Structure 1
Amino acid sequence: MPLKQVQRRIEEFLCNGEAMWKIRSPKAGKARILVGHHLHPLLQSLHLQYPSFMIRDTAAYPPLMKTNKLSNSLKYLTQTYLGYDIQAGVQDPYEDCVATMRLYLRMRNQVHQREDYPQASDPRNRNNFAPSRQSELERMSPEAMLATSRSDYYCWCLDSM
């Protein structure tokens, strides 16, 4: 099957009959959330663009990463968070797909305290302290410092709401 035909079929499935330009608005409508592990290179190789707010990549989700730049392998994440082994011997794409979906669902179904402004796009969630403002940080109370250190990523638990 030619690449253009593959691209069209994937886009039709992901967009679910909705125009790509409509998906780029905050109200996603009928478009599907794309769940996977290490999706960026796959989308790049297919020359596909999909809105980042509709992608749930287990390799790029901050709570599942080693550091802010390094991701864990799917094998490690499955063993750690789901409690079973995958990729023993031969790597099976179906097994990887199921493990990724289970990992996403586990993270999405986490229950934790809701904050007043949970969205990553909310300016109150940003830590905007430059090194030149060090003295201002030193004068802050612990509560005020905690308020500036809110997470700046979209929590997947918000998908279930």
Structure 2
Amino acid sequence: MELEPLSTTTRRHRCSACYKQYKKKDHLLAHMKTSCHSVHDPKCGVCNKHCKSFESLREHIGGPLSKVNCSSIFAERGCILCLKICSSMDSLNKHKEMCHLTTPRPIDTVELYSESEMESYEISSIRSREAVAIDCEMVGGGSDCSLDLCARVCLVNEDEKLIFHTYVLPQIPVTNYRYEITGITEENLRDAMPLKEVRQIIQQILYNGESIGRARLDGGRAKVLVGHNLDKHLDCLKMNYPDHLLRYDIQVGFHDPFQNSVSVMRLYKRIHSQDHPIEGTKRVVSHSSLSFSKSSDSWKSMAHERMTPDELLEISRSNYKCWCLDSRESNC
């Protein structure tokens, strides 16, 4: 009589976020410590797998190695822009009306806020922090035209309303107007606003009546500033703004300052309006000593060893501040 083969089944420890599997619980704990999974991760609407970025999520649902079930459902009911999967085709069509927006109008066709509207807007009382998008157009200065000089600036609010726009008089002579990109001519800058005055107006809008000290401490009533390559814009304006109130994006191929500002505002609003569960809703997080942010000794604790993968995910926190937090009274 032949003997039955011995069972070689090995228990695997699977991460509840990214579904990676490990032979030992210690390996799973080490993974949870470094991965920083959280409710803010982009997540597949079909299998609920957490991804590190929207680009990796796009690969998961539509790349060459995508899962068949996820990719087929996304192809049928998924939004190609925000990657949301809707419950039906009707729901998808309604979603597209809000998500797939038309190109912003050129700035020359946009009406600027009136003085009375600006007065009511500048010192506004808002519950959640409001954002302002900025874009600057640069001309060239210096003997080799390599110095970036701010020659035009535009600010847009969350309703895509133009709240400030002006040509800016550079502090040194312009040697290259970069007309093919900026559309700016010598005539545009003849009666332009001095840089110092422009900076004062922008600061008045952004600080929103808040003191600089309070804005640097916790923001207060100051507004979040969003834009393409903000460091460069603030540098050319010779202006500083608290780092925790800055939101970044890469520059794309637009050259109209209003279209640029509206584009980055749309992107910002799309990201911070993502529907994320609130962190720390389960009983396990009430034990602060279990947090992964503690010293490395706690990783070998018996408490972690007894936790299920779902409980480990619950005490895990992201290592970045998600933009969705801007729309809440307090951080998660």
TM-score by length of 1: 0.60
| 1:34 is the counterpart of 2:225 | yes
Which residue pairs with 1:66 in the alignment?
A: none
Structure 2 stretches lacking a partner, 5+ long: 1-168, 170-193, 282-289
Instruction: String of CA shifts for 1:58-102, please: whole Å, max 9, x gaps.
Output: x2xxxxxxxxxxxxx443xxxxxxxxxxx3xx6222222111000
* CA pair 108-125 structure 1, distance change in 2 beyond 3 A: farther
Tell me which residue corresponds to 2:153. Answer: none
**1:76-115 aligned within 5 A:** 87=253, 91-115=255-279
Residue 158 (structure 1) aligned with residue 322 (structure 2): no
**Aligned in 2, Cα 1:149/1:47: closer, same or farther, shift over 3 Å?**
farther
Q: Tell me if the contact between 1:125 and 1:151 (Cα under 8 Å) persists in the aligned partners.
A: no
Q: 1:7 aligned to 186, 190, 199, which one?
A: 199
> Any conservation in 1 of the 2:280–2:315 contact (CA below 8 Å)?
no
Three-state SS of the structure 2 residue aligned to 1:154 is: coil
Shift of 1:104: 0.5
Instruction: Point out the structure with max Rg over C-alpha.
Output: 2
- Cα shift at 1:146: 4.7
Contact 2:280 2:314 (8 Å CA) reproduced: no
Question: Residues 50 and 144 from structure 1, CA distance in 2 versus in 1: closer, same or farther, beyond 3 angstroms?
Answer: same
Counterpart position of 1:51? 242
Question: Contact between 1:126 and 1:148, CA under 8 Å: does it hold in 2?
Answer: yes
Distance 2:212 2:203 in 1: 8
CA–CA distance in 2 between the matches of 1:45 and 1:99? 21
Counting matched residue pairs gives: 126
Q: Deviations over 1:90-130 (max 9, x none)?
A: 6222222111000001001100222129xxxxxx9875778
Q: Aligned to 2:278, what secondary structure does the other structure show?
A: coil
CA contact (8 A) 2:219 2:245 kept: no
1:6 deviates by 2.1
The structure-2 alpha-carbon separation of the partners of 1:5 and 1:153, relative to structure 1 and needing over 3 Å to count, comes to: same
Provide the rounded CA distance (Å) in 2 between the counterparts of 1:40 and 1:126.
33
Say which structure is richer in strand. Answer: 2
Residue 17 of structure 1 and its aligned partner are, at CA, apart by: 2.2
Query: Aligned equivalents of 2:257 and 2:197: distance in 1?
Result: 22
Say whether 1:16 aligns with 2:208: yes
> Secondary structure of 2:247's partner?
strand
Q: Which has the higher contact order (CA 8 A, sep 6+)?
A: 2
User: 1:126/1:36 Cα in 2 relative to 1: closer, same or farther (>3 Å)?
Assistant: farther
Task: State percent identity of aligned pairs.
Answer: 36
TM-score (norm. length: structure 2): 0.32
**Residues 279 and 314, structure 2, Cα contact 8 Å, conserved in 1:** no
Distance across 2 between alignment mates of 1:125 and 1:112: 20
- Structure 1 residues 48 and 8: CA distance shift in structure 2, 3 A: same
Measured on the aligned residues, the alpha-carbon RMSD in Å equals 3.4
Distance (whole Å) between structure 1 residues aligned to residue 326 and residue 291 of structure 2: 19
DSSP-derived class of the 1:11 partner:
helix
